Copies of this chain bind each other. A is one copy, B any other.
Amino acid sequence: MASRTPAGPVTMEDVAREAGVSRAAVSKVIRDAHGVSAAMRERVTTAIATLGYRPNVSARGMRGATYTLGIEIPELANPFFPRLLAGVTAAVSASPYQLIVAPADPANVEGYRAIQALVDRQVDGVIAVSPLVEPAWLEALAATVPVVMLGRHDRASGYDTVANDDEAGTRQAMRHLIDLGHRDIAHLTCEETKTVPGSGVPQAIRLETYREVMRESGLDAHIRVVRTPTGEAGACRTATRLLTGPERPTAIFASHDEPALGVQRAIAEAGLTPMDVSVVGYDDIEIARHPGVSLTTVNQDGERIGRLAAELLLERIAGRTEPRQEIVRPELVVRSSTRPPP
């Protein structure tokens, strides 16, 4: 099968010669620009197939589009992100665009480097999950290339955003715990640099909302915010300290599912059970429904968010300029990791 043969050094020139037409004609056919007769399209298509021609994306990138969309993702190890990606992939697969992913390397979590790498490669559009990059930088970037940011709550003028309603989700989770009768509810979240108040970062909003709900419920005295490094293992260690220390909380609301899993492990390793300490997460990653995990959590429909982001990006590429901000409604999923306090 010719189309399965890896590209040799076949150029558009070769195709033109084979088909007995000009390079411009070939160019028009492959971009299906209009102004080509059916006959010509036919001949060119045939020539492309017999020669196994593949357009050189670098060359295209120098004049027009690369037909490449880039997505920057901070940690693929957190299963929530692959879900986002699945949504984007699905939405893009029908388009003529190819998606490439730039993983932010751990040394540069903010994502500047990865996003820049994408732009350096002349992608036609960028989706990014970088809660920590500065809005001003993004505006400047968006002036260059269409941009959609995920999980951001800032009111941008040059780029689009898709986020879930972190306040509503957090309220549902906290309401659930309080309704069960919990009062000693701790919040496990990431380092302070990632939860700057007013930054619009999801974790920051969840934290603020946690505090608000506690206050509204007259539980000011029970507010307890615990910081932990990224990852399940770190969360487990931190939770172990919390659980074995004085005044063990009866419930822990984790900023997202990954650390929640670590908390569950800490609970088990401390010889405790969900009857002793309840846990709530955020995201509803697939494993949360596993019978041995059974984590109560807030579902954000990652695939939907990803799909939406891709659609917005495609719209932008097609020419839209008014910014759009989509907010997706999250939904609490109650499982057995939450019980009434002992």
Task: Check if B54 sits within 8 Å of A58, measured CB to CB.
Answer: no
Give the bracket for the number of chain A residues in contact with chain B. Answer: 35 or more
Report if A200 contacts B (CB, 8 A).
Answer: no
Contact A7 B102 (CB under 8 A): no
How many angstroms between the C-alpha atoms of A98 and B113 in the bound complex? Answer: 10
This chain: how many copies in the complex? Answer: 2
Is A293's CB within 8 Å of the partner chain B? yes
Contact partner of A112 (CB less than 8 A), chosen from B4, B66, B116, B294, is: B4
Contacts of A283 in B (CB 8 A): none
State how many angstroms separate the Cβ of A170 from the closest Cβ of chain B: 24
Q: A122, B264: Cβ atoms under 8 Å?
A: no
Q: Nearest chain B CB to A148's CB is how many angstroms away?
A: 15
Most buried by B among A93, A101, A102: A101
**What is the bound-complex CA distance between A198 and B177, given in angstroms?**
55
* CB of A229 within 8 Å of the partner chain: no
Can you list, as one digit per residue, whether each of A91-116 has a CB less than 8 Å from chain B (1) or not (0)?
00100001111110111000010001
Q: Which residues of B contact A56 (CB under 8 A)?
A: 62, 120, 122
Question: Which of chain B's residues have a CB closer than 8 A to the CB of A93?
Answer: 105, 107
Point out the residue from B5, B101, B144, B294 that lies within 8 Å of A8, measured CB to CB: B144
CB of B55 within 8 A of CB of A58, answer no
Contact A6 B58 (CB under 8 A): no
Interface residues of A in 218-263 (CB under 8 A from B): 232, 261
A7-B120 contact in complex given A103-B101, A290-B293, A291-B265, C-beta closer than 8 Å: yes
**Chain A positions 121-142 with a Cβ under 8 Å from a chain B Cβ:** 121-122, 137, 140-141
Q: Is A342 engaged at the interface, CB distance under 8 Å to the other chain?
A: no
CA–CA, A106 to B100, complex, Å?
15
CB neighbours (8 Å) of A39 from chain B are none
Contacts of A294 in B (CB 8 A): 292
**Given A4-B137, A61-B58, A292-B293, A99 and B103 contact (CB-CB distance below 8 Å):** yes
Q: Are A6 and B269 in contact (CB under 8 A)?
A: no
